[in-house]
């Protein structure tokens, strides 16, 4: 729990604050799902069960006012705590390296990932750990760190197809969650009309 780091940022009196952990989780969702505004983020939190679950809101908990959310976000960022939470910006790749290092024994493994992992450092770290980095190539205005040593093997193409299927499952879960929540809300909406 990172709450002690936030204690100094929030007053014990005045308007109720948004719990900092929930605020950070909501900001992560905004970044991950490219939600363009805080108003749209609050709308998503109002009906999207996946968003509510990730942030830690129960199904019937009220969603925060946009103005309150904005003021709490500004206070959080001014306190420089968010930077400590988000670390170096390389957290995902660093975590992947740590997870591969933690695998017991020494045997050849394959690590699949998206274009964000197509960096010289990540690929080199995987090779040092005797792991094949089957990451999607990022060739947008640069040269990929994944070369012919990896792409020539049939297993590379298979890894990319399987990774795509996994991403599709998460997309379907997102769609089904939104549809289920709409069905749950329908009686309330009809009763209010």
Spatial separation of the C-alpha atoms in residues 46 and 23, rounded to whole Å:
15
Look at the pTM and tell me if it is higher than 0.75: no
Residues 6+ apart with CB under 8 A from 178: 47, 48, 49, 50
Render pLDDT for 79-112 as a digit per residue (tens, 0 to 9): 666 666 556 667 788 888 999 999 988 778 999 8
Instruction: Please report the DSSP string for 1-23 in residue order.
Output: --GGGGGGGS-SSSSPPPPHHHH
Spatial separation of the C-alpha atoms in residues 193 and 184, rounded to whole Å:
16
Render pLDDT for 8-65 as a digit per residue (tens, 0 to 9): 666 677 777 888 888 888 988 888 888 889 999 999 999 999 999 999 999 899 999 9
Spatial separation of the C-alpha atoms in residues 20 and 10, rounded to whole Å:
9
Render pLDDT for 134-188 as a digit per residue (tens, 0 to 9): 999 998 888 999 988 899 989 999 988 888 887 777 777 777 777 776 777 777 7
Torsion of CA 8, 10, 14, 16, to 10 degrees: -150
CB 159 within 8 A of CB 110: yes
> What are the backbone dihedrals phi and psi of residue 135, each rounded to the nearest 5 degrees, phi first?
-105, 150
């Amino acid at each position: 729990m990172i709450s002690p780091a936030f204690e100094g940022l929030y007053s014990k009196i005045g308007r109720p604050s948004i719990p900092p952990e929930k605020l950070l989780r909501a900001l992560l969702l905004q970044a991950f799902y490219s939600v363009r505004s805080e108003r749209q983020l609050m709308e998503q939190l109002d009906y999207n069960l996946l968003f509510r679950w990730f942030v830690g809101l129960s199904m019937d908990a009220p969603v925060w006012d946009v103005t309150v959310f904005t003021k709490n976000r500004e206070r959080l960022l001014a306190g420089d705590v968010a930077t400590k939470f988000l670390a170096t910006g390389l957290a995902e790749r660093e975590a992947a390296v740590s997870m591969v290092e933690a695998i017991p024994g020494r045997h050849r493994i394959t690590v699949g990932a998206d274009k964000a992992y197509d960096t010289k450092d990540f690929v080199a770290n995987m090779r040092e750990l005797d792991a094949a980095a089957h990451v999607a190539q990022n060739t947008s205005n640069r040269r990929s760190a994944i070369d012919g040593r990896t792409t020539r093997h049939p297993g590379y193409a298979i890894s990319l197809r399987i990774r795509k299927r996994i991403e599709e499952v998460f997309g379907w879960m997102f769609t089904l969650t939104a549809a289920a929540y709409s069905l749950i809300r329908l009686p309330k909406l009809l009763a209010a009309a």
